[in-house]
Chains A and B, each alone.
Chain A
């Protein structure tokens, strides 16, 4: 089946530094990838929709200059948290969408636990 590799699975960084998270579709091409964020005991919330070769579409309230998304190829999207602060500590998950012939298929990455100290 379709596999999405998300890396790293966890990262600890100092306040003020930047962290890059990769989301890679291993055996299919994903023209669209979604980035979600989950706070403790809350639902996943969509941050942005990433389309290959174009600018990401950010949800309301998400700072596009802080959360940089790049989708340069059909198999890779990256999320860079710039100038990280402790309030950015969260669980980040990507999801890749592909056309399965009769409908869309969605595959989730394994998530990245970011802790900013």
Chain B
């Protein structure tokens, strides 16, 4: 049972434009969320996190939005750069326990 879902396996965006990556979850007990990106054969690189007490968290070009009522999470990258091309995973955790990961969205930023 996939508790965290990323329904778009891939996304292509022009350099300089906004990239929006989406994530849905089913467990209402999740209270901590994060996004990370991953290059092939490397470990994940943490990007940004958000706790359930917030609905937005911003860090430079990256902003995460949380809609608890819709159980929806999104990552906005503005402006997108070619170096942002990677696979992006969202993950959710409840009460400090293990993370459940989405299946990832492969982002390609076209120069």
Contacts and interface: CB of A to CB of B under 8 A. Distances in A.
Interface stretch (B13-21, B61-69, B75-83, B97-105): B97-105
B96 A93 contact: no
A46 B43 contact: no
A106 B99 contact: yes
Contact of B41 (A44, A91, A103): A91
A104 B101 contact: no
Interface in A38-80: 42-46, 49
Nearest to A92: B43
Interface SS of chain A: strand
A110 B99 contact: no
Contacts of B34: 106
Given A34-B98, A104-B32, A44 B89 contact: yes
Contacts of A103: 32, 51, 96
B101 A44 contact: yes
A51 to B, nearest CB: 12
Contact of B103 (A10, A34, A43, A107): A43
A108 B99 CA distance: 11
Contact of A46 (B44, B46, B98): B98
B54 to A, nearest CB: 11
Contacts of A10: 41
A108 B102 contact: no
B43 A108 contact: yes
Interface of A: 6, 10, 34, 36, 42-46, 49, 91, 93, 95, 97, 103-104, 106-111, 113
18 contacts: A44-B44, A44-B89, A44-B99, A45-B101, A46-B100, A95-B99, A103-B96, A104-B93, A106-B34, A106-B93, A107-B46, A108-B36, A108-B43, A109-B43, A111-B41, A111-B42, A111-B43, A111-B44
Interface of B: 2, 4, 32, 34, 36, 41-44, 46, 51, 89, 91, 93, 96-104
